[in-house]
Amino acid sequence: MKFLDAPPRFLFFTGKGGVGKTSVACASALSLARAGRKVLLVSTDPASNIGQVFGLTVGNTVTAIPEVPGLAALEIDPEQAAEAYRERILTPVRGILPETELAGIAESLSGSCTTEVASFDEFTRLLGDDASYAEYDHIIFDTAPTGHTIRLLQLPGSWTDFLATGAGEPSCLGPLSGLDKHKEVYARAVQALADPLRTRLVLVTRAQPSSLKEVERTYLELNQIGISGGYLVVNGVLPEAAGGEELAKALRAREAAAMAAIPGAVAGLPRDVLELKPGNMVGIPALESLFAPSLLADAAEGPPSFPDVEDAPLAALVDGIEANGHGLVMCMGKGGVGKTTVAAAIAVALARRGHAVHLTTTDPAAHLSETLHGSVAGLTVSRIDPAAAIQEYRAHVMDTKGRSMDDEGRAALAEDLMSPCTDEVAVFRQFSRVVQESRRHFVVMDTAPTGHTLLLLDATGSYHREISRQVGDSMGFVTPLMRLQDPVGTKVILVTLAETTPVLEAEELKVDLERAWIHPWAWVINNSIAAAHPRSPFLRARAAQEADQITKVRAMAERFALIPLLPEEPIGEAKLTALTAFTTQRV
């Protein structure tokens, strides 16, 4: 593997959700450890699954992998990191400040922006605190999907710049002195990220146009914040061992066309191509096979048959959504499972049935225009753009709260609004407006990958609690959270793949949602090989891996749809319409 030749101390694996970053990062850590290096594998993904891959519990503390000498893992769990962060802030002042003031500080540290900064605090210590992790030859970062990762990698520079202005007043983080103490660590983290001798960027992608365009965008954005160079890994390419049936031929042709049109900014990077394997990348033997070529013998080991899969058309879900005449539809799930495609297909179907529909996304890495590939009558398309939302929010606060302030007060307020913590608040305001629209017509929302969405829902819950506290029983009110909890007005659809990790993550998301009294209305399994009814041994082996997961989802779901892996990508109105027009047919 080119990307593992003479590797520096830090390796970052990033890319669009669902491309296999975790598998490639875990296999890389395993390879380096087998070569006698001491390796720490770190996940910065709020929805991490390193533990599932290795078959053990990995949390917010360094955990040795018993079967692999020299290899340890760490998952920067947002909630655990936030709790530890709160304790570091509160412990020194317990017994000094009155309980009412302590309670106020604790409340200010309960929001989603504190959760993000707590994770960031852990991340920068890994990069900037050489003494604490000196024993490791390599630290490998398995990052969150692209949009969240860009945000995380920007934070060291953002907070370094923010602290350099001398800000020290309390903010949504509580006392900023807790951050100021780590200013030197943040500065060293920025230096490490920008030094190619210390940090190597590994861009993981699939041989798909959308994935390759996303990896180019990532590369260019990282260049802008000082992270240059990089290696490209094209993962999951269908091997010749998959056979010559029409579905396999069509998929290989799609991949070849995508590779031939690889975007210019990343076309010249050192490149490795990894073949799709018959089984899932769970367990050490599977990880050890990832960098080896697939053989015809591997495919032959697949079962000659697998349990029949009953068709479950997406059209039936559209019928249920349409019944109320308006409402909010939220497609949620792990990055890379096809939320954008499912959301676009539902929106197009509702629009073609004569309804006014607003299709929007909260995903920084989503590009609805590329999926729709043109306009659709009755359909309005938008994106909740974090940069625009932040700019609008700052202007709003200055025009309202800052209107009556003197010059010194306005300057202090403007400085406080430059805090990276304002981002979640700004995006939440835009989100709330879209939720309100669903009272009049259909709003279909393509959400960000799981971890980022939970942060947004946390902000929604924080706002609800604050309004409840202020209003009390004096008058009636309806918050965005209450609208999300309304099973008639809001229909949450969990989108997943028929694979172990995406289903586990969707199940965990279901639990998190129900804790907030938001009940998933339906589940969709996307890109199912089993639903395509393949004939070649290789694809049938892949399909057999799906059977248990399809059964598991059916048992959890009140409503269910199954979308087969298609020979052509569902891009454009006609192909999106086909997803909801009829029951899937056997080939």
Mean pLDDT for the stretch of residues 13-32: 88
Average pLDDT of the chain, as a whole number:
79
Reduced to 3 states (helix: H, G, I; strand: E, B; else coil), residue 501 is helix
Q: Which of 79-88, 138-147, 317-326, 445-454 has the highest mean pLDDT?
A: 317-326
User: 162-166, 330-334, 484-488, 566-570: lowest mean pLDDT where?
Assistant: 162-166
Question: How do strand 10-14 and strand 199-206 relate by DSSP bridges?
Answer: parallel
Return the beta strands (E) in 362-497 as ranges.
Answer: 379-383, 442-446, 490-496
d(CA 546, CA 539): 11
Q: Which residue has the tokens 């490490």?
A: 192
Q: Is 335 an active-site residue?
A: no
d(CA 543, CA 277): 12
Q: Is 18 an active-site residue?
A: yes
- Of 17, 18, 128, 333, the active-site residue reads 18
Written as six digits, the tokens of 61 are 């503390």
- What would the DSSP string read from start to end of 334-382? STTS-HHHHHHHHHHHHHHTT--EEEEE--TT--HHHHH-S--TTEEEE
- Of 16, 31, 44, 45, the active-site residue reads 45
Mean pLDDT for the stretch of residues 345-366: 86
The per-residue pLDDT for 278 is: 83
Give yes or no for residue 85 having a pLDDT over 80: no
Q: Is 23 an active-site residue?
A: yes
- Of 22, 419, 453, 496, the active-site residue reads 22
Which residues have CB under 8 Å from 447's CB, separation 6+? 330, 331, 332, 339, 361, 362, 363, 453, 456
- Of 14, 15, 17, 20, the active-site residue reads 20
Sheet holding 522-528, edge to edge: 379-383, 357-361, 442-446, 327-332, 490-496, 522-528, 560-564
User: 140-144, 203-207, 264-268: lowest mean pLDDT where?
Assistant: 140-144
Do 7-294 and 315-567 have matching folds?
Answer: yes
Give yes or no for residue 321 having a pLDDT over 90: yes
Question: 494 forms bridges with which residues in the sheet?
Answer: 332, 523
d(CA 355, CA 161): 48
- CA neighbours within 13 Å on the CB side: how many for 275? 18
Reduced to 3 states (helix: H, G, I; strand: E, B; else coil), residue 129 is coil
Q: Is 77 an active-site residue?
A: no
d(CA 395, CA 459): 20
The per-residue pLDDT for 269 is: 94
- Of 14, 17, 23, 277, the active-site residue reads 23
What Rg value do the Cα atoms of the chain yield, rounded?
24
CATH number of 315-567: 3.40.50.300
551 vs 226 pLDDT, higher one: 551
Q: Per-residue b/e over 340-352, b at no fewer than 16 CB within 10 Å?
A: bbbbbbbbbbbbb
| 43-69 pLDDT per residue, tens | 877 666 788 888 888 877 889 999 999
Q: Is 45 an active-site residue?
A: yes
306 contacts 545 by C-beta, under 8 angstroms: no
Written as six digits, the tokens of 325 are 């005449």
Q: Which of 56-60, 126-130, 575-579 has the highest mean pLDDT?
A: 575-579
The proportion of the chain whose per-residue pLDDT surpasses 70, expressed as a percent, equals 74
Reduced to 3 states (helix: H, G, I; strand: E, B; else coil), residue 248 is helix
- Confidence band of 274 (pLDDT split at 50, 70, 90): very high
- Of 15, 16, 17, 21, the active-site residue reads 21
Question: For 111, which DSSP code?
Answer: S
Q: Which of 135-144, 291-300, 359-368, 459-468 has the highest mean pLDDT?
A: 135-144
What ranges do the domains of the chain cover? 7-294, 315-567
According to CATH, the topology of domain 7-294 is: Rossmann fold (3.40.50)
User: 96-110, 161-175, 195-209, 542-556: lowest mean pLDDT where?
Assistant: 161-175
- Confidence band of 176 (pLDDT split at 50, 70, 90): very low
Listed residue (551, 567, 557, 569) closest to 519, CA to CA: 557
- Confidence band of 26 (pLDDT split at 50, 70, 90): very high
505 vs 528 pLDDT, higher one: 528
- Confidence band of 195 (pLDDT split at 50, 70, 90): confident
Return the beta strands (E) in 529-575 as ranges.
Answer: 560-564
Give yes or no for residue 485 having a pLDDT over 70: yes
Written as six digits, the tokens of 587 are 């080939």
- Confidence band of 173 (pLDDT split at 50, 70, 90): very low
505 contacts 49 by C-beta, under 8 angstroms: yes
Question: For 207, which DSSP code?
Answer: S
The per-residue pLDDT for 120 is: 65
Q: Is 272 an active-site residue?
A: no
- Of 112, 119, 149, 501, the active-site residue reads 501
152 contacts 141 by C-beta, under 8 angstroms: no
- CA neighbours within 13 Å on the CB side: how many for 157? 15
Q: Which of 162-171, 188-197, 251-260 has the highest mean pLDDT?
A: 251-260
d(CA 58, CA 50): 7
CB atoms within 10 A of CB 4: 18
Mean pLDDT for the stretch of residues 285-296: 82
d(CA 339, CA 567): 19
Give yes or no for residue 448 having a pLDDT over 60: yes
d(CA 349, CA 346): 5
Q: Is 340 an active-site residue?
A: no
Give yes or no for residue 470 having a pLDDT over 50: no
The per-residue pLDDT for 67 is: 92
The per-residue pLDDT for 122 is: 72
Question: 347 forms bridges with which residues in the sheet?
Answer: none
Instruction: Give the amino acid at 106.
Output: A
The per-residue pLDDT for 287 is: 92
d(CA 501, CA 582): 29
Give yes or no for residue 474 having a pLDDT over 70: no
